[in-house]
């Protein structure tokens, strides 16, 4: 088939063709930016203050255009297709941000079926002007392609299809290289900043859709495990048996930066001033068990701990590079919440923060939460400084519990607090706040002493929340199991300043030399009288076969709670996790501990190595392929 020739008219030589490509790339980039929710004039001001954004947004568009121009042997045909693709995705990004407050990511390309099936679930206001203008510009560029040709490449041997393919390959190759280097640079991305760098929709709006879209090719990755077989993993997903558990309420509270560092010898609190008096009382309660939770990260990564606890997967095993577990979730997943939902429970997630942070609004829906409540939906939240108090959140949980009981429902709730979030500066709770004196041995610098006094105040309030809820649930006839734990250790200054002055070794250590002390937070699981009777507490806890020191990786806590409440075998996934937990209750990167606390090695060919590999492959299948209704 002969290539279509343009109508009689102008033919651009190579320099003019390249100049046209640059101009058209700029035009398409400008149109793509105009399609975004932000006003173009506000974006222009940002770009003028950060000129590098002009290059970062135009570069991928230009390389894409050159590739198509080589294939079609016409810069205008290439520009038409580039405009349709770039502006089409830009419009899709605008719609997704307006509907779900989440940008379009490259991974969405693998979810087109889910996207089309979900469209009917939203009230979408299509940007008609942007769509019409994109179509008109595309048509105009295509028309120009018929009227204005491009002269053949000067070298005879590169004038045919071979030259077209080589030119396209070079352009697309340059785009791929730019994506993994310049566009994918985390340092450059962080240096550009934004008015709210933690809100990805804001970053996309302010720093440009083309650049941010291509940057996301190198972020939030999930590595395909060696030996993965989709059909094999699908075969593991058989044998769901809902409805086996006892009718008890489950309340899970993950308290921000909750730890027991005030128990270390450097502190001199007596029984009357003990910041953790309620935790210590519950730890010795006959209807409780406690220990250390080994969480994914040190001094940060709250949502990663949520992901690990609720799904039974491990953030640290998803990718060889650092990732955010919540950002890799884009479909319905099996979770602790979903198991309880399948048993007819009301499931919920409460957090006195913004719904967009870590994309929680969407992720918890995918995890099976029937209700999510964030700070903007909480009536008259009580603040201490800029943070909603743990005391307010305790009262909120009590009200939601009473609401569920009044409606004849059992409740499974996961709550993430926020009060004790860093930074621990003297003005955290407002100027002039009178902190109780820090009771610690001499030797702390003024900076560290202030930091620890502020942090201890947050711990004291968290402990009061625990005590209040335990007292509240002890007075109800409803059976309630309460799980209370920390998400990570607090950040106490650069280079572990506070920890070093306390004499605590919490340096995480390089891979292969993990220091578990850097990842351990306390947990306690307690049952009120009605729940203890319903579960036959002593028998149920003994059957869990917990480690002697109570240490558990966060990814096993949710599975253990399911088993405790009689749901350990309702799904094949959590059945497998509880069996794996008995083999190796602590998995932290390369560190493996037995129930006796001894180090294990997953030698090739052993059952442990096979089960750990199965765990990774099964997790990958769930994240990438499994359809959950």
pLDDT surpasses 80 at 592: yes
Before 168, cis peptide (omega within 30)? no
Residue 100, burial from CB neighbour count under 10 angstroms (0-12, 13-18, 19+): middle
15: in domain: yes
Residues 6 or more apart from 254 whose CB is under 8 A from it? 302, 305, 306, 309, 414, 415, 416, 417, 485, 486, 487
Q: Please give the pLDDT value at position 2.
A: 47
Question: Is the domain of 190 the same as that of 114?
Answer: yes
231: in domain: no
Which of 339-348, 351-360, 461-470 is predicted with the least confidence, judged by mean pLDDT?
351-360
Q: Please give the pLDDT value at position 3.
A: 47
Q: pLDDT (tens digit, 9 = 90+) per residue, 423-434?
A: 899 999 998 899
Q: pLDDT (tens digit, 9 = 90+) per residue, 80-132?
A: 999 999 999 999 999 888 876 678 888 777 655 555 554 554 567 789 999 99
pLDDT surpasses 60 at 251: yes
Question: Is the domain of 22 the same as that of 140?
Answer: yes
pTM for the structure as a whole: 0.82
Question: Is the domain of 132 the same as that of 192?
Answer: yes
Classify each residue of 487-524 as buried b or exposed e, where b means 16 or more C-beta atoms within 10 Å of its C-beta: bbbbbbbeebebbebbebebebbeeeebbbbbbbbbbb
Over residues 621-628, the mean pLDDT reads: 93
Q: Which residue has the higher pLDDT, 286 or 239?
A: 286
Q: How far apart are the first and last CA of the chain?
A: 48
Question: Is the domain of 47 the same as that of 111?
Answer: yes
235: in domain: no
Mean of the per-residue pLDDT values of the chain = 91
- C-alpha neighbours within 13 Å on the C-beta side of residue 81: 16
604: in domain: yes
46: in domain: yes
Question: Do 581 and 560 touch, CB atoms closer than 8 A?
Answer: yes
CATH at 431 = 3.40.720.10
pLDDT above 90 coverage of the chain, percent: 74
Residues 6 or more apart from 340 whose CB is under 8 A from it? 250, 347, 410, 412, 567
Question: Is the domain of 263 the same as that of 196?
Answer: no
Question: Is the domain of 102 the same as that of 163?
Answer: yes
Question: Is the domain of 213 the same as that of 293?
Answer: no
Residues 6 or more apart from 595 whose CB is under 8 A from it? 545, 546, 547, 548, 582, 585
Question: Is the domain of 52 the same as that of 145?
Answer: yes
Over residues 126-148, the mean pLDDT reads: 94
Beta bridge partners of 292: 522
Q: pLDDT (tens digit, 9 = 90+) per residue, 203-214?
A: 999 999 999 999
Other beta carbons within 10 angstroms of residue 444's beta carbon come to: 18
Q: What range defines the domain where residue 99 resides?
A: 11-218
Other beta carbons within 10 angstroms of residue 38's beta carbon come to: 18
Over residues 534-544, the mean pLDDT reads: 98
pLDDT surpasses 80 at 509: no
Could you give the CA distance from residue 88 to residue 143 in angstroms, rounded to a whole number? 19
Q: Which residue has the higher pLDDT, 13 or 482?
A: 482
Specify the DSSP element, H or E, that contains 581. Answer: helix 572-583
Q: Please give the pLDDT value at position 11.
A: 83
200: in domain: yes
The angle at the Cα of 347, spanning 566 to 339, to the nearest 5 degrees, equals 40
Could you give the CA distance from residue 297 to residue 295 in angstroms, rounded to a whole number? 6
588: in domain: yes
Question: Is the domain of 346 the same as that of 206?
Answer: no
Could you give the CA distance from residue 606 to residue 604 in angstroms, rounded to a whole number? 6
pLDDT surpasses 50 at 614: yes
Question: Is the domain of 408 the same as that of 458?
Answer: yes
Domain C-terminal end among 202, 218, 234: 218
Question: Is the domain of 276 the same as that of 425?
Answer: yes
Could you give the CA distance from residue 325 to residue 317 in angstroms, rounded to a whole number? 10
Q: How many structural domains is the chain composed of?
A: 2
Q: pLDDT (tens digit, 9 = 90+) per residue, 409-424?
A: 999 999 999 999 988 9
Question: Is the domain of 206 the same as that of 325?
Answer: no
Q: Please give the pLDDT value at position 510.
A: 66
554: in domain: yes
């Amino acid at each position: 088939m002969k290539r279509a020739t343009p109508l009689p008219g102008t033919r651009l030589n190579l320099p003019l063709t390249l100049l046209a490509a640059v101009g058209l790339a700029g035009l398409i980039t400008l149109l793509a930016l105009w399609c975004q929710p932000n006003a173009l004039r506000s974006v222009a001001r940002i770009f003028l203050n950060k000129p590098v954004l002009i290059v970062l947004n135009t570069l991928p568009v230009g390389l894409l255009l050159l590739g198509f121009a080589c294939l079609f042997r016409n810069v205008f045909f290439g520009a038409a297709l580039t405009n349709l693709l770039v502006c089409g995705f830009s419009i899709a990004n605008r719609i997704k941000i307006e509907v779900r407050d989440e940008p379009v990511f490259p991974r969405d390309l693998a979810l087109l079926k889910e996207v089309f099936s979900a469209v009917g679930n939203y009230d979408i206001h299509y940007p008609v002007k942007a769509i019409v203008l994109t179509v008109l510009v595309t048509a105009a560029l295509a028309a120009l392609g018929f009227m204005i040709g491009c002269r053949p490449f000067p070298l005879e041997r590169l004038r045919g299809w071979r030259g077209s393919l080589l030119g396209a390959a070079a352009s697309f190759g340059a785009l791929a290289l730019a994506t993994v280097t310049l566009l994918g640079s985390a340092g450059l991305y962080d240096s550009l900043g934004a008015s709210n760098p933690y809100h990805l929709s804001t970053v996309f709006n302010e720093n440009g859709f083309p650049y941010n879209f291509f940057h996301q090719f190198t972020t939030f990755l999930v590595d395909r495990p060696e030996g993965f077989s989709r059909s094999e993993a699908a075969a593991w997903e058989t044998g769901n048996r809902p409805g086996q558990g006892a009718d008890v309420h489950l309340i899970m509270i993950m308290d921000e930066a909750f730890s027991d560092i005030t128990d270390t010898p450097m502190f001199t609190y007596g029984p009357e001033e003990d910041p953790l008096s309620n935790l210590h009382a519950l730890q010795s309660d006959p209807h409780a068990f406690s220990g250390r939770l080994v969480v994914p990260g040190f001094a940060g990564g709250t949502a990663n701990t949520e992901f690990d606890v609720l799904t039974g997967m491990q953030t640290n095993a998803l990718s060889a590079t650092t990732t955010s577990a919540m950002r890799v979730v884009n479909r319905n997943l099996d979770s602790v919440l979903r198991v309880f939902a399948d048993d007819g429970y009301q499931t919920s997630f409460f957090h006195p923060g913004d719904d967009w942070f870590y994309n929680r609004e969407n992720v918890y829906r995918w995890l099976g939460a029937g209700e999510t409540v964030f700070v903007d939906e909480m009536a008259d939240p009580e603040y201490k400084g800029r943070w909603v108090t743990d005391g307010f959140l305790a009262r909120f949980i009590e009200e939601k519990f009473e609401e569920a009981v009044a409606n004849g429902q059992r409740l499974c709730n996961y709550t993430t607090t926020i009060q004790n979030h860093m930074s621990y500066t003297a003005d955290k709770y407002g100027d002039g706040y009178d902190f109780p004196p820090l009771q610690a041995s001499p030797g702390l610098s003024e900076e560290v002493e202030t930091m620890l006094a502020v942090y201890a105040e947050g711990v004291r309030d968290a402990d009061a929340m625990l005590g209040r809820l335990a007292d509240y649930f002890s007075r109800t006839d409803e059976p309630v199991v309460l799980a209370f734990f920390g998400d990570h250790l607090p950040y106490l200054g650069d280079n572990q300043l506070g920890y070093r002055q306390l004499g605590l070794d919490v340096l995480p250590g390089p891979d292969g030399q993990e220091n578990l002390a850097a990842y351990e937070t306390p947990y306690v699981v307690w049952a009120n009288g009605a729940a203890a009777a319903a579960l036959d507490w002593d028998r149920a806890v003994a059957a869990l076969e917990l480690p002697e020191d109570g240490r558990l990786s966060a990814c096993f806590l949710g599975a253990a709670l399911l088993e405790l409440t009689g749901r350990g075998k309702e799904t094949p996934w959590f059945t497998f996790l509880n069996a794996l937990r008995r083999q190796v209750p602590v998995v932290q990167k390369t560190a493996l501990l037995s129930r006796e606390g001894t180090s294990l090695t997953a030698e090739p060919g052993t059952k442990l190595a096979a089960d750990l590999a199965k765990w990774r492959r099964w997790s990958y299948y769930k994240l990438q392929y499994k359809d959950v209704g």
